[in-house]
Amino acid sequence: MSDDGDWLYSDGGRQRFNATTLAQFGYVIYPNNTVSNWSTCVLAFGGYIPTVISNGSWYNSSGCDTPVREIRTRGILGIVCAVVFALLLILSLVCLNKHGKSFLPAEKRFRLVGRRWPWYWCIITSTLGIISGFTAVDVDRVWVLGTAAIFHFIFYLVTLPACLAAVWEMTRNWASFEERKGVDEDFFRYRQDDRRSKIEFYEPLIFYLFNFLSFFLSILRAWNPISRSNVDVITDARFKAASIFSFLAWLIIVVALVISQHYYRPCKFPWKIPVVLALTLVRIGYNIGSAFDYSISQLRYQASPAYIYCLGFLPIILAVIVILQSGWREPNEDQELLRLRNARNMSLDQEMMAVQAPSGKAIEGNRKPSRRRRTHRASAPPDYWGSEDPGKMS
């Protein structure tokens, strides 16, 4: 920029503007060859030749957030992440279709929507990842960071509370199914007014409180200073508190897992939950580090893309993959409950047959009983499984 009486110049003196008009409307020509008054910003170099008129308006102008550069590393990796999240979105819909179906009458104590929530949150997380990944393309290409950077950073940050909610609902649903299996076997096994039920009532309230506070402090705020990589804003108290609240929400999930393990004592430990907890802890740790150290901040444009993709996106992608893999492998809850009921009924029938067999000997294998035994069994209750016709017994 140079000054020559009534003219101000940009682009090494190749473009000039009326100094009086620029001063009247608060426009300043910056060293990066842009003209801005903080409400309007236009490019003023090369083939971008704007003209300012007496009322402060511009024509033949291009905004500072116009994509003018070639795509670079951040944009390429963003596209890759967006494609991966798109595949995860499809798989989330498949798992929702599988586990969201009901094969038993509705129960007030165990609602169908409860086991759908993990997949709802996986869908939300994948959708946020798609948007953040594709908007990363224009973060590389724009001359001055603006709307594209804001959308990229916002949707990137929201993937953490959404993924934490998916992990929480998966943990809660696992505990709920363990309770449901116990109640189906013995209706009075778990009361609804004991300490266990009260703890399980308050757990989600505390978790979603911390998770919402993390979302509120990090997302619902002014984003223009953040898009310009303002160090004082990126490392302010709100981002520090938001990262700590995310860690507290993570701790609630750990506590809920330990409590459920204590009360239900399942035959198999749910290893999928510690795995996703470890993955999300990596992202939470990076958020905390970014809030206190500007050099590695996920919101700093000059930071290496390796930070945001290896420590930011990758843990979320892997966590969702683990959740979906478990959903693909595990059966529908209603169908599993029916299988357990049939197994118990089969066991009871075998015990009844063993008691009714002569001399206390049960019928083994496929050996055909003698006529005398068939006559003795004529008065036995009918076979629940339809293997024999009681009417044809002699």
Whether 233 is covered by a domain: the verdict is yes
User: Same structural domain for residues 30 and 139?
Assistant: no
Contact 313, 125 (CB under 8 A): no
What is the mean pLDDT of the segment spanning 12-25?
Answer: 87
Rg (CA), the chain: 32
User: Same structural domain for residues 46 and 107?
Assistant: no
Which of 97-106, 114-123, 180-189, 374-383 has the highest average model confidence (pLDDT)? 114-123
Whether 189 is covered by a domain: the verdict is yes
Whether 260 is covered by a domain: the verdict is yes
Whether 256 is covered by a domain: the verdict is yes
Query: The tokens of 355 are what?
Result: 């008691």
User: Same structural domain for residues 239 and 116?
Assistant: yes
Q: Give the total number of structural domains in the chain.
A: 2
Q: What's the confidence (pLDDT) of residue 40?
A: 86
Lowest mean pLDDT among 3-7, 308-312, 352-356, 386-390: 386-390
Which helix or strand (DSSP H or E) is residue 60 part of?
Answer: none
Contact 175, 204 (CB under 8 A): no
User: Same structural domain for residues 45 and 83?
Assistant: no
Last residue in a domain, options 16, 35, 59: 59
Cα 218 from Cα 127, distance rounded (Å): 19
CB atoms within 10 A of CB 140: 22
Q: State phi, psi for 253 to the nearest 5 degrees.
A: -65, -40
Whether 64 is covered by a domain: the verdict is no
User: Same structural domain for residues 148 and 201?
Assistant: yes
User: Same structural domain for residues 37 and 87?
Assistant: no
Band (pLDDT 50/70/90 cuts) for residue 312 is very high
Amino acid at position 193, single letter: D
Residue 371's SS3 state is helix
What is the mean pLDDT of the segment spanning 224-242?
Answer: 88
- Tens-digit pLDDT profile for residues 97-129: 999 888 887 777 788 888 899 999 999 999 999
User: Same structural domain for residues 78 and 181?
Assistant: yes
Which one-letter DSSP state was computed for residue 106?
-
Lowest mean pLDDT among 2-6, 203-207, 231-235, 303-307: 2-6
User: Same structural domain for residues 55 and 138?
Assistant: no
b/e burial code for range 77-89 (CB count within 10 A of at least 16 → b): bbeebbebbeebb
Across the chain, mean pLDDT equals 84
Q: What's the confidence (pLDDT) of residue 45?
A: 87
Q: What's the confidence (pLDDT) of residue 376?
A: 44
Whether 127 is covered by a domain: the verdict is yes
Cα 255 from Cα 248, distance rounded (Å): 10
The residue whose two tokens read 């998916």 is 166
Instruction: Give the domain CATH number at 206.
Output: 1.20.1070
What angle (nearest 5°) sits at the alpha carbon of residue 293, between those of residues 126 and 248? 55
Last residue in a domain, options 318, 340, 362: 340
Whether 388 is covered by a domain: the verdict is no
Band (pLDDT 50/70/90 cuts) for residue 383 is very low
User: Same structural domain for residues 8 and 132?
Assistant: no
User: Same structural domain for residues 83 and 114?
Assistant: yes
User: Same structural domain for residues 21 and 107?
Assistant: no
What angle (nearest 5°) sits at the alpha carbon of residue 296, between those of residues 294 and 301? 80
CB atoms within 10 A of CB 110: 19
What angle (nearest 5°) sits at the alpha carbon of residue 23, between those of residues 21 and 27? 90
Whether 356 is covered by a domain: the verdict is no
- Tens-digit pLDDT profile for residues 66-103: 888 888 888 999 999 999 999 999 999 999 999 988 88
Cα 10 from Cα 24, distance rounded (Å): 18
Higher pLDDT, 297 or 211: 211
- Tens-digit pLDDT profile for residues 147-164: 888 899 999 999 999 999
Last residue in a domain, options 320, 340, 360: 340
Percentage of the chain beyond pLDDT 70 is 88
Range of the domain at 28: 2-59
Cα 145 from Cα 32, distance rounded (Å): 12
Q: What's the confidence (pLDDT) of residue 147?
A: 83
User: Same structural domain for residues 51 and 170?
Assistant: no
